[in-house]
Amino acid sequence: MKIDKNTINKIARLSRIKLDDKESEDYIKDLNSILDWVEQLNEVNTENIEPLSNISSSILPTREDVSKDANSSDEILENAPDKLEGFFAVPKVVE
């Protein structure tokens, strides 16, 4: 797999990162070398092997269904650049 200009633009847009031409070139180079390195794994035969989503042998820890009264709005909104009556205020999102 090769990363080209179109792919890098798509990834940048999906990540909401603005890249200038110089940065795009740099990322194309970086990402391609990472992919080349990872592609060594293709040499391994993985036929009939289920993907492994986690290498830990421990069991998913769970919690009981108890709610804690957070009354969180002041703390949660502390870093918000803009807020109004307990809401985050963000630039208009259409739809």
Note the residues at the interface with another protein (CB under 8 A). 10, 13-14, 16, 53-54, 56, 58-73, 76-77, 82, 84-95
How near is the Cβ of 15 to another protein at its closest, in Å?
Answer: 8
> CB neighbours (10 Å) of residue 8?
20
Which of 23, 22, 24 shows the shortest CA–CA distance to 9? 24
- Measured from the CB atom, the residue of 22 and 63 that comes closer to another protein is 63
Which of 53, 89, 31 shows the shortest CA–CA distance to 23? 31
Assign 95 to helix, strand or coil: coil
How near is the Cβ of 24 to another protein at its closest, in Å?
Answer: 19
- Measured from the CB atom, the residue of 22 and 75 that comes closer to another protein is 75
